[in-house]
Amino acid sequence: MKFETYQKLIGLIEEKGALYVPLLDPDKNTVEGIGEVAAKAEEAGADALLVGGSIIVRNVFEDSLKQIKKSTNLPVIIFPGYFNYVCKYADAILYLSLVSGRNPDLLIGEHVKSAPALNVIGLEPISTAYMLVSSGVTTSVEFMSNTKPIPREKPDIAIAHALAAEFIGMKLVYLETGSGANQSVPDEMIKAISSVLSIPIICGGGIKTPDEAVSKVKSGASIVVTGTILEKQKDCSNLMKEFAKAIHSVKK
């Protein structure tokens, strides 16, 4: 298995300081529409694309990925709700282990089921520790995963989970409050984790403005993800440009 996409992300982080990665949800777009958003994201200065959602209602995942790949040269990375999202048209998949929870299926069970398929199609797995942080209300990911999030005011617990993930050999830590969350991951928690961690931090969930994205980067995030706020725009081009410009302007 080659790890080209991961190496590309690491190279980009070294070059730019931090990366902007929009999340595209095939359930919220037509196949043509999602291709157009992907092209606009590249034009806006995004560094890669995540594709996925917590529930895929329509049977369009493969077609959407094909269309996205046709429309952009950006790295396209699957953000799986579940592991039946394995698909050869992406460059890589965030191989998420929900380390903040104690649901064995999401720690290792789903991985065992999907690993042979990944191997056959040659889809690059990026081993990622997925850490759900409380936003104060129950999110879809919390409910669907049947796990408890890490309390917002407990950075020590978050540090212990992130360090364990790094020591196990995971390559990224994804700090998440859930798609559409009313609050993003607290800056203090990102700072605390980044002060002890060597692997890059992705931050997503509830990020609504470029200023908020900048404070995540200044706190130590290397990759910022936005999904819901883009879906709320009639045309998200300008907002993606603002996010990309703001995130790339932070000198770490």
Residues that bind ligand 1GP (CB under 6 A): 23, 176, 179-181, 204-207, 225-229
Quote the least distance from Cβ 176 to ligand 1GP, whole Å: 5
Is the Cβ of residue 75 or residue 205 nearer to ligand 1GP in the bound state?
205
Quote the least distance from Cβ 237 to ligand 1GP, whole Å: 17
Is the Cβ of residue 123 or residue 132 nearer to ligand 1GP in the bound state?
132
Rounded CA separation 129/158 (Å): 11
Rounded CA separation 238/223 (Å): 19
Q: Which residue is nearest to ligand 1GP (CB)?
A: 204
Contacts of 138 (CB under 8 A, 6+ apart): none
Residue 156 backbone dihedrals phi, psi, to 5 degrees: -65, -40
Please answer whether residues 206 and 184 qualify as being in contact, where contact means their C-beta atoms are separated by less than 8 angstroms: yes
Is the Cβ of residue 1 or residue 223 nearer to ligand 1GP in the bound state?
223
Quote the least distance from Cβ 225 to ligand 1GP, whole Å: 5
Please classify residue 184 by burial: count the beta carbons closer than 10 Å to its beta carbon, then call 0-12 exposed, 13-18 middle and 19+ buried: buried
Quote the least distance from Cβ 185 to ligand 1GP, whole Å: 9
Is the Cβ of residue 145 or residue 179 nearer to ligand 1GP in the bound state?
179
Rounded CA separation 70/236 (Å): 20
